[in-house]
Structure 1
Amino acid sequence: MPRGRRTAVTLPTPQEEDRNARTTRGRKRPASTALTLEDSVDERMLQNEADVWILGDSIPYWAGNYAKNAAKENLGLKDVSIAWWAERGLRWGGFRRLIEMQVLLSFPPSIIFIHLGGNDLVSVNTVQLRLLIEQEIIYLREAFPHTVIIWVDILQRQNWSGAIRGYRPIEMKRKRLNRLARKIVTSSGLSDIIIPDIDAATAFFRDDGVHLNSVGLEFYLDYIKDAIVKHLGIRHV
C-alpha cells in the first residue's frame, strides 16, 4: 500500500486541538493563516469547484489534517482539488447540515467519498441507520447524477465507548451496516466501495483505540488516492 518511505507528520490529539480552539476563539484570524477544516460555511465555499469531496466523521477529518500538515492537501495529485469537509463527532443525523450549502451552491464534484456511521453504532438501531443512509444517498444522487459516490467502510475500533452489551454485538452491527450501505450506494448509480485493510488487531490506532495514528492515516489516504486515480483516469505522481 504505502509507496516508498514517508516522513511522519505529528498531529495534535483531539484534546490538544480542543484546547487550542478555546485559546484562539474570538480572535481575528491573520490573513496569512490557513483555513481549518471546521471553518464556517462561507469559508468552505471557497472550495466550491473542488473535483473531490471527502465527507464524514473524525476519521476523514484527521486524515485531512494529516494531509494538510504534510503539504499534500491534494494527495500529490496534479490538477486535482480536494475539499476535506469532515466533522469530528458527526453522525448521520447531522449529515444534511454538513453538506446542504455545498450541494446548493457548488459545482458538481467528480467524486464524493463518504465515511460515516461509527459514531451512530452504539446509539442508533440498524433500521434507522439504513433509512438515513438511503435518504441521504438519494439526496446526493438527485443533486449529482453523474458524480461517483464512494462508500468507505466504517472501520473497526479497539473499543466502543458506551457499548452496554460489549464489543461483539457492535462489531456484528458494524459489518451488517457496511453491507447495507455498500448495497445502497452501488445501487444508486455511479459508485464504488472501499474496504480498508485496517482492523482492531493492527497497530494503526492511537491510544484511544478509535482514531488512526500516522501509520494508519498513511494507509487510509492511500486508499483515497488510489480511488481518485482510478476514477479520474490519472497517473500517480
Structure 2
Amino acid sequence: MQLALLMQSSLAASTWSSHGSPQPKVWLVGHSYIYWAARRAAVRPGGLNLGFMSADLSWRGIKGLKCLQVLSEVVAIGKQSPGPTVLVIHAGGNDMCSTRLAALVLVMKSDIERFAAFFSDLVVVWSEVIPRVIWNGARNPESIERACRMLKMRVSRFVRSRCGMVIRHRQLEGDNAGLMLDDGVHLNDIGLDIFLSELQDAIERALFLVGGGRSTV
C-alpha cells in the first residue's frame, strides 16, 4: 500500500500547464544498451536530454540487468524523484538463454501492468530486444532467435493493448554484425547512434500524446 501511494504521488499530465508543474519526466531503464546509449548521448548534440527542451530525461542503465530486476530499479528511481510521464524499458536480451519464453513473457506483462498502476497518466514505451550476433550461453542460437521473435511479438502486442508504444528497431535487425562490437553482443558507435535516434523518435511521439515538447535535434 505504501509503495502504491508513493508511486501515485506523481502529477497527472493534465496539471502541468494549469499549475506550472515541473517538466514531464522521461525515464529510460534497461541493461547495458541503455548504459552505453547514455554514454554515447552525452557526447552527441542534444546531450543526455536528446535535445528535448520541455522534458527531463533520466537514464538507468545497469550492465547485466535481467528482467526480474526491472521493477525494483523503477521503484528505486521512484523513491528519489517524481514519477515519470514516459517510461522507456529496454530489457530481455540478457534473459533469452537462461529463462523460458513463457516465464519471461509473464514477467514482462506483469511489470507493465504494475507500472500503469503505480503511475498516473503513464505512457510505457517498450523497446524491443535487439538481435545479437552472439547469444552468450546459447546451446542452439537459432532457437534463441526464434524465441526472441516470439517474445517481441507477444510483449509488443500486450503493450499496444495497454495503450503503450513499441520501438521495433528495424534498422538493427537482420544482418547487423556491422553495427556490433567484436563481442557480437553490444552495439558500436554507429549502432548506438541508430538506437538513440529510434529512442528519440519514440519519446517524441510519446510526449506528443501527453502534450510535451519536441526534440531540437
TM class by shorter chain equals 0.7 to 0.9
1:195 corresponds to 2:175:
no
Aligned residues: 188
Comparing both structures, which one devotes a greater share of its residues to helix? 2
Task: Pick one of 97, 108, 111 that aligns with 1:122.
Answer: 97
Q: Deviations over 1:48-105 (max 9, x none)?
A: 9761100111111110111123361101221321100121100012112212122345
Partner of 2:43: 69
CA RMSD of aligned residues (A): 1.8
Partner of 1:160: 135
Distance (whole Å) between structure 2 residues aligned to residue 184 and residue 105 of structure 1 = 29
**Does the CA-based 8 Å contact 2:50-2:215 persist in structure 1?**
no
Counterparts in 2 of 1:213 and 1:185: CA distance versus 1, 3 Å: same
Task: Pick one of 131, 142, 152 that aligns with 1:178.
Answer: 152
Partner of 1:150: 125
Partner of 1:97: 72
- Normalising by structure 1, what TM-score? 0.74
Percent identical pairs in the alignment equals 29
- Normalising by structure 2, what TM-score? 0.81
**What amino acid is aligned across from residue 81 of structure 2 in structure 1?**
S
1:132 corresponds to 2:95:
no
**Does the CA-based 8 Å contact 2:23-2:55 persist in structure 1?**
no
Distance (whole Å) between structure 2 residues aligned to residue 83 and residue 205 of structure 1 = 25
**Does the CA-based 8 Å contact 1:49-1:107 persist in structure 2?**
no
Q: Deviations over 1:107-165 (max 9, x none)?
A: 2312111110000000100111111112211110101141110111100000111111x
Distance (whole Å) between structure 1 residues aligned to residue 76 and residue 181 of structure 2 = 33
Distance (whole Å) between structure 1 residues aligned to residue 43 and residue 129 of structure 2 = 24
**Does the CA-based 8 Å contact 1:91-1:117 persist in structure 2?**
yes
Partner of 2:201: 226
Distance (whole Å) between structure 1 residues aligned to residue 106 and residue 141 of structure 2 = 24
Partner of 1:31: none
Q: Which structure 1 residue ranges, 5 or more long, are not aligned?
A: 1-47
Distance (whole Å) between structure 1 residues aligned to residue 205 and residue 69 of structure 2 = 30
Q: Which structure 2 residue ranges, 5 or more long, are not aligned?
A: 1-21
Higher relative contact order (CA 8 A, sep 6+): 2
Partner of 1:108: 83
Q: How does 1:207-222 map to 2 (within 5 A)?
A: 207-222=182-197
**Does the CA-based 8 Å contact 2:181-2:187 persist in structure 1?**
yes
Distance (whole Å) between structure 1 residues aligned to residue 113 and residue 125 of structure 2 = 14
SS in structure 2 at match of 1:73: helix
**What amino acid is aligned across from residue 191 of structure 1 in structure 2?**
G
Partner of 1:9: none
